[in-house]
Amino acid sequence: MNSIELNIHGMHCAGCVSTVEKSLAKVTGVDTAVVNLSLEKAVVTGSMDKKQLIEAVKSSGYTATQFIQEDLNRDINLEKLAEAKKRMVLGWLVTIPIMAWMLVEMITGLVYPSPEVYHTMMLLLSAVAVFFAGGDTIRNGWKSIVYFSPNMDVLIMIGCLAAWSTGWLRLWIEIHPFTGIASMIMAFHLTGRYFESKARGNASSAIKKLMNLSAKEATVIDGSGVESVVDIRNLSIGDVVVVRAGETISADGEVLDGIADVDESLVTGESVPVPKNEGDSVVGGTVCLNSTIKIKVGKTGKDTFLSQVVRLIENTQATKVPIQLFADRVVSIFVPIILAVSGLTFLSWYFSTEFMFKISTSVSSILPFFPFNSTPIAQALYASIAVLVIACPCALGLATPTALMAGTGLGAQNGVLIRDGAAIQRMNEANTVFFDKTGTITTGNPEVVGAHVAKTMTKEELIRLTASLEKESSH
């Protein structure tokens, strides 16, 4: 049994995650398939072919590529955040004038400068927000329908298109157009997407900070004693590297020549420098504090200690805690249910005109913007669109993995590595916490600040016993 890691492109919500996981699970030989939305990564275990996995992801409407550890050095989250911000700003640039124009109509009852100009401009401005700023959402929603895997984008897509289409429908049927609502829906949706991207970027920044602890370049010395500076990605096992005082050790290896103190707090948590002599092992990412040493490279790339730590954090973030498994089950059936509820809402408002009129008149004072005086089809569309938009459960699927990423990432920055994400959820049941030794979570220089003596012992006796223990201890 082997493990294959893939980068998954095109996912936007928990529904996308569920679709990709189901597609991967159907591949012959797959035992487990776990997809992480925040990392855009899939970890698949079993006896299967990588090409089959990539094809399975493609058949579900997404794209998969080989996972490359070095990609972590690229700030992909910043690129996506910039794109999300650009779309959000464009959406609001056209939505704010639309809202102002609609507000004038609601307050005064006048359509300025004329009905034809007003409705034409509403169609054009809303089209910019829906099809340009929100183009990704529309495409992803349509794609998920084509592949029979409806996700959250479907709800937004249908809601926006239904609202926008009323601007055209008014030309053939008697209907109150609310074209501008489509722009408002998309603008708020894009704002949510922007903050989701920002939250994911903040949560995953801990991994990037860990990767930045490693040296970017190394000074390699050849057999004739000539030094050259190379990218650490070009290091090979057996290369001899020179590390001077204050420099970060570029790779895991063994000291060939020299004596130096090394700050290994990254590895052990101990704040006290560790002396290194010829033959001692060193870890990439630790710091040579004094003198110059020569190191023979023993591990490179994904086999180094720091890369293994990053891998551990990623695997922890990719695990699904019990509450997330529950959320995923809910999300997997949520979209079809909401589509059905929205359809029933439309039919109820359209065919039960008298009953709905009684309800609408009783709440008209608290819902001044609802088109109670419009035609039944307009009221039915308005109500069904409201169901689609307000029910979008993106937060349900994003909250748990984002919180898990933030927690494990913050822990890693502070030297706490969590092997199993489920342990975080069980943490609230803990009533006792044990720490191993001085230096792991302290400065390594303890001092007595007080003594609390039991009734069966005097303070002097306690000090005498403590001193006798300390006398024979080297720690």
Q: For residues 264 and 253, what is the distance between their CA atoms, to the nearest angstrom? A: 14
Q: Which CATH number is 61's domain given?
A: 3.30.70.100
Beta bridge mates, 43: 5, 34
In a domain, 47, yes or no: yes
Q: For residues 7 and 309, what is the distance between their CA atoms, to the nearest angstrom? A: 19
Same-domain status, 49 and 86:
no
* Burial (CB count within 10 angstroms: exposed 0-12, middle 13-18, buried 19+), residue 90: middle
Q: Is the pLDDT of residue 355 over 80?
A: no
Among candidate residues 398, 432, 448, the one where a domain is terminated: 398
Catalytic residue list:
436
Same-domain status, 334 and 195:
yes
Question: What's the pLDDT band for 416 if we cut at 50, 70, 90?
Answer: confident
Please state the domain count of the chain: 3
Q: Which residues contact 249 (CB under 8 A, 6 or more apart)?
A: 215, 243, 262, 282, 283, 284, 285, 286, 287, 288, 295
Q: What is the DSSP letter of 428?
A: G
- CA nearest to 206, candidates 441, 415, 412, 424: 412
Question: What's the pLDDT band for 128 if we cut at 50, 70, 90?
Answer: very high
In a domain, 362, yes or no: yes
User: Phi and psi at residue 209, in whole multiples of 5°?
Assistant: -65, -40
Among candidate residues 15, 40, 67, the one where a domain is terminated: 67
Question: With the CA atoms of 88, 91, 94 and 97 taken in that order, what torsion angle do they form, in degrees rounded to the nearest 10?
Answer: -70
CB–CB of 252/292 below 8 Å? no
Q: For residues 240 and 294, what is the distance between their CA atoms, to the nearest angstrom? A: 7
Same-domain status, 340 and 193:
yes
In a domain, 73, yes or no: no
CB–CB of 10/19 below 8 Å? no
pTM tops 0.75: no
In a domain, 420, yes or no: no
Three-state DSSP at 464 gives helix
In a domain, 432, yes or no: no
Of 379 and 445, which is predicted with more confidence?
A: 379
Same-domain status, 194 and 95:
yes
Among candidate residues 303, 333, 353, the one where a domain is terminated: 303
Same-domain status, 199 and 265:
no
Q: For residues 184 and 130, what is the distance between their CA atoms, to the nearest angstrom? A: 9
Is the link from the previous residue into 115 a cis peptide, with omega within 30 of 0?
no
- Helix or strand holding residue 456 (H, E): none
Q: How many of the other CB atoms lie within 10 Å of CB of 300?
A: 21
pLDDT above 90 as % of the chain: 23
Q: Give the type of residue at 415.
A: G
Q: For residues 39 and 43, what is the distance between their CA atoms, to the nearest angstrom? A: 11
pLDDT in tens, 80-124: 888 999 999 999 999 999 999 988 887 887 888 888 898 899 999
pLDDT in tens, 428-475: 888 887 766 555 566 656 677 778 887 788 888 888 888 888 776 655
- CA nearest to 141, candidates 13, 262, 28: 13
In a domain, 473, yes or no: no
pLDDT in tens, 214-240: 888 899 998 888 889 998 888 899 999
Same-domain status, 132 and 158:
yes
Two tokens, residue 186: 């998309």
pLDDT in tens, 243-283: 999 999 989 999 999 999 999 887 776 778 899 999 999 99
CB–CB of 134/194 below 8 Å? no
Q: Is the pLDDT of residue 296 over 90?
A: yes
Q: For residues 376 and 346, what is the distance between their CA atoms, to the nearest angstrom? A: 10
**Domain span at 16:** 2-67
- CA nearest to 233, candidates 68, 67, 78, 5: 68
Q: Is the pLDDT of residue 178 over 90?
A: no
Same-domain status, 188 and 326:
yes
pLDDT in tens, 137-154: 999 889 888 888 777 788
189-216 exposure pattern, b = at least 16 Cβ within 10 A, e = fewer = bbbbbbebbebbbebbbbbbebbeebbe
User: Phi and psi at residue 225, in whole multiples of 5°?
Assistant: 90, 5
Three-state DSSP at 298 gives strand
Q: For residues 343 and 340, what is the distance between their CA atoms, to the nearest angstrom? A: 5
Output the pLDDT for position 388.
81
Question: What's the pLDDT band for 397 if we cut at 50, 70, 90?
Answer: low
Beta bridge mates, 33: 44
Same-domain status, 114 and 193:
yes
> Per mean pLDDT, which range of 132-136, 298-302, 388-392 is the poorest?
388-392
Q: What is the DSSP letter of 72?
A: G
Output the pLDDT for position 15.
74
Outline where DSSP puts E strands in 37-156: 41-46, 63-66
Q: Which residues contact 423 (CB under 8 A, 6 or more apart)?
A: none
Q: Is the pLDDT of residue 67 over 90?
A: no
Q: Is the pLDDT of residue 77 over 70?
A: no
Q: For residues 475 and 470, what is the distance between their CA atoms, to the nearest angstrom? A: 8
In a domain, 459, yes or no: no
Length of the chain: 475
Same-domain status, 104 and 252:
no
| Average pLDDT along the chain | 82
Q: Which CATH number is 288's domain given?
A: 2.70.150.10
Output the pLDDT for position 211.
73
Q: Which residues contact 142 (CB under 8 A, 6 or more apart)?
A: 157
CB–CB of 415/216 below 8 Å? no
Q: Is the pLDDT of residue 73 over 80?
A: no
Output the pLDDT for position 100.
92
Same-domain status, 294 and 322:
no
Same-domain status, 59 and 116:
no
HSE-up of residue 33 (Cα within 13 Å, Cβ side): 24
Output the pLDDT for position 205.
66
Q: For residues 87 and 196, what is the distance between their CA atoms, to the nearest angstrom? A: 14
pLDDT in tens, 19-50: 898 899 999 899 988 887 777 888 898 888 88
In a domain, 439, yes or no: no
Same-domain status, 172 and 226:
no
